[in-house]
């Protein structure tokens, strides 16, 4: 226990140590260990460039798949809306010939077949997949957590779901309110009354405030809402194997195309109870009404999420909106509610991955979820609101220690969970390959440590180093004995020249992603959301990218560095939601 406790303490120090080291190395490196510092810069820059190029190709893959999905959807809409009668006939015939459908052991439940009745077992498996092909098989439970969100925004989000084809028969709205919000009951009652009869069910949950051991935020609200909804649906005799939770934000405009692709993914999956569906995010609802610095920040955020989705091993993290089976949520003990679970989407994915021994994987759904940018009434107040949002987002750095603990700390907090087969998961971590665990940890570190270090090292290191240890350095005047490696060594002079050259290419992959994004943005606006050309981005908005250095520092580097350093004390900030204004006349 002593070694394990020590390891966990070390893992907690990774994030703050990395962030502080980046700042200290920037200022002290050229003076104290200039040769090692030059090596460090070269390795950091080359590594960053390699990762960026890799992300560019992954982004290209995601863009291609999104465009193909939209193209196929439009083509299907132009054709006759014929239903899949063949699949339904299969369901009907198999269900009537064999009675109830029993999932196979591969999907997490005991099979009814015996060793001498293999044909019956095969038929049961075929029946299960056939029934899952029926578009009325799944019950979609949309968890919409909110705190101090405008009622028109929530009404608009729910109204978009109301327009889906199977909303009245297969959709459950779970409106997750916070007891600490003033007039939360009035808002919830108004919304439920507004959509009376529009959905299969409309459940209102009220998360109590100041529960012991809980940290305020989306995760604790979702956890309470999901548990409450599970009990409510169980009382109504809804088979939990049919229920898909879709966790979303209050401003998420979820198209019906996303739901269809989620159903397709679950139906075709060999293990739907270990499947997490993750879509890209997209900011277009009010993007033209916010400052350019806010707009370009959210564009970069969207690009990073899209890059992450193209992972052939299913090790892609969700952001904002995602879907998973009620069986999986129940199996892993629902969402965590402590201070380590502030980044609820990534944290839940990590929990599912580790607690199922690496069985739970992501299926990317290439249908963008349209979100709103943070918007307020004034320019500077809008900048401040985005800063507040960025600080809250990067508090998810707690997942760095969490992933390290589960991957390499011999963590055993999973022992109280049940596997899909119903037995305690006492060896779940052993079944997950070391390479997969290492990959997951690398991506978590990449998501949080690059923002906390790149702003210091990429933007400031070269000019600052050139000032201190160049041939014209003022240090020589004050410290004549200082051995400047750039002056005294031809080798290190060449290395520094190489660093300067590489630094020129560092932003290129991101700028190429921005070029691709502009084309994708128009495709989504015009072909999926059916906007007019005057409602989408035009060439004059390309000037937004001039704000990238400012946005990177203000909304990425500074809040991520602050979040990392705060891990030294694990102090919890007051939970503040960025101010928003919303008009129901917003575009699609």
pLDDT reported for residue 478: 60
Distances from the Cα of 500 to the Cα of 91, 196, 256, 506, angstroms: 65, 63, 49, 10
Label residue 135 by pLDDT band (50, 70, 90): low
Rounded to whole angstroms, how far apart are CA atoms 154 and 145? 10
- E strands present in 235-364: 243-247, 275-278, 281-283, 322-325, 361-364
Rounded to whole angstroms, how far apart are CA atoms 229 and 253? 22
pLDDT reported for residue 86: 38
CB neighbour list of residue 364: distance below 8 Å, 6 or more residues apart: 62, 65, 277, 278, 279, 309, 310, 311, 316
Q: Residue 159: is its pLDDT beyond 80? A: yes
What is the rounded radius of gyration, in angstroms, for the C-alpha atoms of the chain? Answer: 26
Q: Residue 505: is its pLDDT beyond 90? A: yes
Distances from the Cα of 499 to the Cα of 224, 468, 474, 503, 506, angstroms: 51, 15, 21, 6, 11
pLDDT reported for residue 96: 35
pLDDT reported for residue 97: 36
Q: How many CB atoms lie within 10 A of CB 131?
A: 20
> Average pLDDT, stretch 513-520?
94
Q: Residue 91: is its pLDDT beyond 50? A: no
pLDDT reported for residue 423: 38
Rounded to whole angstroms, how far apart are CA atoms 328 and 289? 40
Q: Residue 117: is its pLDDT beyond 50? A: no
Distances from the Cα of 58 to the Cα of 51, 311, 522, angstroms: 11, 8, 20
pLDDT reported for residue 45: 95
pLDDT reported for residue 173: 96
Which range (105-109, 516-520, 544-548) has the least confidence? 105-109
| 3-class state of residue 280 by DSSP | coil
pLDDT reported for residue 58: 96
Q: Which domains does the chain have, with CATH numbers?
A: 1-72+139-411+429-587 (3.90.550.10)
What percent of the chain has pLDDT above 70? 80
Closest CA to 188 of 198, 203, 170: 203
Which range (26-40, 83-97, 331-345, 442-456) has the least confidence? 83-97
- E strands present in 401-479: none
Return the higher-pLDDT residue of 180 and 103. 180
Label residue 407 by pLDDT band (50, 70, 90): confident
pLDDT reported for residue 27: 85
Which range (212-216, 228-232, 257-261, 288-292) has the least confidence? 212-216
Q: Are 281 and 320 in contact (CB under 8 A)?
A: yes
Q: Are 290 and 375 in contact (CB under 8 A)?
A: yes
Rounded to whole angstroms, how far apart are CA atoms 436 and 313? 9
What percent of the chain has pLDDT above 90? 55
Out of 106-115, 314-323, 388-397, 426-435, the most confident range is 314-323
pLDDT reported for residue 348: 95
Q: Are 588 and 283 in contact (CB under 8 A)?
A: no
Q: Residue 43: is its pLDDT beyond 50? A: yes
Which range (257-261, 399-403, 464-468) has the least confidence? 464-468
Label residue 498 by pLDDT band (50, 70, 90): very high
Q: Give the pTM.
A: 0.84
Rounded to whole angstroms, how far apart are CA atoms 382 and 494? 45
| 3-class state of residue 142 by DSSP | strand
CA end-to-end distance (rounded Å), the chain = 55
Q: Are 537 and 521 in contact (CB under 8 A)?
A: yes
Return the higher-pLDDT residue of 1 and 74. 74
Distances from the Cα of 485 to the Cα of 206, 468, 492, angstroms: 64, 11, 6
Q: Residue 303: is its pLDDT beyond 60? A: yes
Q: What is the pLDDT of residues 210-228, one digit of tens each?
A: 888 888 888 899 999 999 9
Which range (30-44, 114-128, 321-335) has the least confidence? 114-128
| Phi, psi torsion values for 69, nearest 5 degrees | -60, -45
Distances from the Cα of 536 to the Cα of 156, 327, 426, 582, angstroms: 20, 40, 53, 19
pLDDT reported for residue 209: 87
Q: Are 316 and 447 in contact (CB under 8 A)?
A: no
Q: How many CB atoms lie within 10 A of CB 416?
A: 9
């Amino acid at each position: 226990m002593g070694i394990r406790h020590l390891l966990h303490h070390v893992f907690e120090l990774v994030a703050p140590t990395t962030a502080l080291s980046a700042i200290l190395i920037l200022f002290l490196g050229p003076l104290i260990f200039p040769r090692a510092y030059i090596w460090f810069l070269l390795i950091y820059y080359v590594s960053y460039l390699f990762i960026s190029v890799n992300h560019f190709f992954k982004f290209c893959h995601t863009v291609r798949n999104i465009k193909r999905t939209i193209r196929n959807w439009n083509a299907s809409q132009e054709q006759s809306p014929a239903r899949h009668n063949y699949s339904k006939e299969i369901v009907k015939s198999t269900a009537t010939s064999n009675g109830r459908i029993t999932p196979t052991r591969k999907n997490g439940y005991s099979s009814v077949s015996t060793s001498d009745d293999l044909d019956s077992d095969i038929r049961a498996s075929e029946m299960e997949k056939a029934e899952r092909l029926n578009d009325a098989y799944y019950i979609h439970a949309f968890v919409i957590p909110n705190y101090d969100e405008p009622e028109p925004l929530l009404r608009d989000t729910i109204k978009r779901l109301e327009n889906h084809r199977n909303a009245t028969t297969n959709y459950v709205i779970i409106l997750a309110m916070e007891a600490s919000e003033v007039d939360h009951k009035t808002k919830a009652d108004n919304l439920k009354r507004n959509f009376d009869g529009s959905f299969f069910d409309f459940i209102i949950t009220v998360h109590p405030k100041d529960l012991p051991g809980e940290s305020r935020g989306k995760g604790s609200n979702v956890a309470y809402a999901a548990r409450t909804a599970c009990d409510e649906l169980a009382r109504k005799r809804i088979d939990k194997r049919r229920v898909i939770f879709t966790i979303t934000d209050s401003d998420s405009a979820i198209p019906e195309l996303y739901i269809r692709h989620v159903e397709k993914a679950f139906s075709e999956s060999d293990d739907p109870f270990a499947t997490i569906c993750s879509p890209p995010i997209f900011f277009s609802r009010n993007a033209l009404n916010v400052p350019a610095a806010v707009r370009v920040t959210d564009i970069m955020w969207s690009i990073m999420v899209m890059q992450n989705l193209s992972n052939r091993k299913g090790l892609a993290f969700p952001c904002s909106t995602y879907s998973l089976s009620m069986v999986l949520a129940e199996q892993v003990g629902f969402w965590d509610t402590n201070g380590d679970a502030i980044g609820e989407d990534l944290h839940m994915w990590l929990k599912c991955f580790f607690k199922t021994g690496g069985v739970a994987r992501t299926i990317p759904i290439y249908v963008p979820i349209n979100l709103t940018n943070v918007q307020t009434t004034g320019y500077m107040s809008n900048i401040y609101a985005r800063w507040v949002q960025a600080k809250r987002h990067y508090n998810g750095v707690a997942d760095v220690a969490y992933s390290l603990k589960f991957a390499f700390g011999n963590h055993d907090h999973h022992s109280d969970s049940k596997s899909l087969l119903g037995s305690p998961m006492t060896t779940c971590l052993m079944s997950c390959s070391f390479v997969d665990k290492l990959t997951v940890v690398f991506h978590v570190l990449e998501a949080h440590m690059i923002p906390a270090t790149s702003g210091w090292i990429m933007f400031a290191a070269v000019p600052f180093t050139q000032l201190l240890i160049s041939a014209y350095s003022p240090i020589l005047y004050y410290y004549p004995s200082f051995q400047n490696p750039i002056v005294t060594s031809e080798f290190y002079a060449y290395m520094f020249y190489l660093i300067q050259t590489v630094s020129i290419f560092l932003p290129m992959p991101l700028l190429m992603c921005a070029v691709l994004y502009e084309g994708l943005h128009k495709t989504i606006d015009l072909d999926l959301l059916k906007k007019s050309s005057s409602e989408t981005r035009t060439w004059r908005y390309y000037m937004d990218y001039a704000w990238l250095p400012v946005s990177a520092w203000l909304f990425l580097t500074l809040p991520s560095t602050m979040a990392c350093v705060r891990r030294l004390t694990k102090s919890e900030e007051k939970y503040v939601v960025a101010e928003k204004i919303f008009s129901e006349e917003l575009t699609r």
